[in-house]
Amino acid sequence: MGFIEAVLLTIVTAATPLLIAALGELVTERSGVLNLGVEGMMIMGAIAGFAFALMSGNPYVGVIAGVGFGALFSLLFAFLTVTLVTNQVATGLALTILGLGISGLWGEAFVGVPGVKLLPIEIPLLSEIPLIGKLLFAQDIIFYCSIVLLFGVSCFLFKSRMGLTLRAVGDNHTSAHALGISVSRVRYLAVMFGGACSGLAGAYMSLVYTTQWIENMTAGRGWIALALVVFASWRPNRVLIGAYLFGAVGIAQLHIQALGFKIPSQFLSALPYLATIIVLVIISRNRRLTIINTPASLGKGFVPDR
């Protein structure tokens, strides 16, 4: 494997968890729910994935556990914010803190224990293509999932009737209710989809990115995913651009630091954030489209009239 291939591979590895978590949050937010607990749900997915893979010896059990625990954890958020109509911002922050706490407690026994690695699946023929073959077609199942999710979420939101219903709920929950749409059902499902995605992204961290458990190992990626959704103005294809750009600049700045250029390291560390924000702001400079894509009832709890 050449140097370039290796660098590209690290970019994919850095971008995949961001892409998955951001796509999940995008669906949640399109339904009008702002879940700031992405970081908490991710770390729950990471610890559950690590623990179940280790106990069963099968990394796929870990993947399923990560998804399941992420969804389960988000169910708590949905119950609080949709059924009890608590403040979404406060509840989301609490979810993150809770997730970090529980995972730290659960993971204490796993510190320093070598984990189980999720191995790549080589797709015959396609993986033989020079340069991109290994990159795109000799990857683990979670990477393939991220690509399927990207197209799936796009089609779901903009081509399917259910996606239209979801967008309607996010745009104006009062009108949606008046049309006989169950706002709470749509939001429960959207929140749980977001939780499942965050859990999957977390499992990627502990089964692929590093195969060990480190406390707080998601290291703010949940927050970056959240920011990506906003800067991508709630559009899946822009989330893809943002996630990969962030991954790429992040890896590039590591190499630049290693090569010993005389650029302050603080600036280089900030570079991925700067570059992503600038590019996404330029993409979404059309204000009309941004307004149309922003879910108008985002963050607002819904209490029916009666």
Partner 1 sequence: MFGDFTANKNIDFDIKPGEIHALLGENGAGKSTLVKMLYGSLQPTSGSIRIDGDEVEITSPGKARALGIGMVFQHFSLFEALSVAENIALSLAEDISVSEVARRASEYSERYGLPLNPEAIIGDLSVGERQRVEIVRCLLQEPKLLILDEPTSVLTPQEAENLFKTLNQLKSEGRSILFISHRLEEVRTHCDRATILRFGEVIASCDPREETAASLANMMVGSTVRNVDRSSRNVSSDVVLELNRLSLSAQTQFSVPLSEINLKVHAGEIVGVAGIAGNGQSELFEAICGERISIKSDSVSIGGERVGKLGINKRRKLGAAFIPEERNGHGAIAAFKLSDNMLLARHASDDQKFQKGGRLRLIWQDMIQSATSRVSEAMDVRKSGVNPYAASLSGGNLQKFIVGRELDRSPSLLVVNQPSWGVDAGAAQRIRQALIDLAAAGSAVLVLSQDLDEILEISDRIAVLFDGHLSEPLNAETASREDIGLLMAGVGMATGEAKHVA
Q: Which is nearer to partner 1, 210 or 290 (CB)?
A: 290
- Residue 175 near partner 1 by CB under 8 A: yes
Determine contact, residues 41/99, Cβ cutoff 8 Å. yes
Q: Which is nearer to partner 1, 262 or 288 (CB)?
A: 288
Q: Which is nearer to partner 1, 64 or 229 (CB)?
A: 229
**Of the candidates 229, 173, 235, which has an alpha carbon nearest to the alpha carbon of residue 21?**
229
Structure tokens given for 250: 């992040």
Structure tokens given for 269: 């560390």
Binding residue (CB under 8 A) for partner 1 from 293, 299, 300, 301: 293
Number of residues that bind partner 1 (CB under 8 A): 24
Shortest distance in whole angstroms from residue 284 CB to partner 1: 14
Binding residue (CB under 8 A) for partner 1 from 112, 124, 180, 260: 180
- Residue 292 near partner 1 by CB under 8 A: yes
Shortest distance in whole angstroms from residue 35 CB to partner 1: 20
Other C-beta atoms within 10 Å of 60: how many?
14
Residues 145-174 that bind partner 1 (CB under 8 A): 161, 164-165, 167-168, 171-172, 174
In angstroms, the CA 102 to CA 69 distance is 12
Binding residue (CB under 8 A) for partner 1 from 136, 181, 214, 256: 181
**Of the candidates 234, 231, 221, 232, which has an alpha carbon nearest to the alpha carbon of residue 297?**
234
In angstroms, the CA 121 to CA 78 distance is 35
Shortest distance in whole angstroms from residue 13 CB to partner 1: 35
- Residue 305 near partner 1 by CB under 8 A: yes
Shortest distance in whole angstroms from residue 182 CB to partner 1: 11
Residues 232-291 that bind partner 1 (CB under 8 A): 287-288, 291
Shortest distance in whole angstroms from residue 50 CB to partner 1: 40
**Of the candidates 70, 67, 89, 91, which has an alpha carbon nearest to the alpha carbon of residue 79?**
91
Largest CA distance in the chain: 66
Q: Which is nearer to partner 1, 158 or 267 (CB)?
A: 158
> Residue 2 — φ and ψ, nearest 5°?
-75, 175
In angstroms, the CA 166 to CA 291 distance is 17
DSSP, collapsed to helix, strand or coil, labels residue 130 as coil
Structure tokens given for 289: 């489209």
Q: Which residues bind partner 1 (CB under 8 A)?
A: 161, 164-165, 167-168, 171-172, 174-176, 178-181, 287-288, 291-296, 305-306
